[in-house]
Copies of this chain bind each other. A is one copy, B any other.
């Protein structure tokens, strides 16, 4: 279940989606651009980076956009602070088979931080003068890996937003929170397990996980 195979992509309502950020959203200090058309991501970027605002922005993307919207995706990457990709996407984006080289090359496209997810094998964190490797949480019963990557990114961004600023330590701790969030998600269908997890469940698993990898 570690590598997804894309058989077909249907954009449906997302094909004409033009998000207008409501209320205080455009001034969020931490923004995650989930995987969607680079044009839509740019549209949101224009709203959150307007009027001199400089939030910490991380984007996701996928094979479909890397193939078909290379130019617009390039502009997104030049304008964000970080990017979250899986191993296959990092290889596709950079043309590098070796994941360490691929992660380093992603940084040349613009982001100051690149997080490369490897599913059950954990994640790599790349930045200037920084390389960090973290195993995955040892899940014994994977029910449905759908949404694991989004849960991971949510955990990372949620931690950074709560911490209030980005540093090497906070990025590493964010990776731990993302790993823990994803480990709940894969344990049941959809959002069921993550939605049922309490703050205490997440904290307990984070401590367990730090014990595993220390």
Write the residues of chain A forming the contact surface with B, with a CB cutoff of 8 angstroms. 98-101, 118, 120-122, 124, 131-136, 138-142, 212-213
Contacts and interface: CB of A to CB of B under 8 A. Distances in A.
Contacts of A141: 98
Contact of A133 (B118, B124, B138): B138
One complex includes copies of this chain to the number of: 2
A163 to B, nearest CB: 19
A97 to B, nearest CB: 10
A99 B138 CA distance: 9
Nearest to A104: B140
Contacts of A138: 100, 124, 131, 133
Contacts of A136: 133
A17 B41 CA distance: 66
Nearest to A125: B212
Nearest to A98: B140
A101 B138 CA distance: 10
A131 B212 contact: yes
Given A121-B118, A121-B121, A213 B133 contact: yes
Nearest to A122: B135
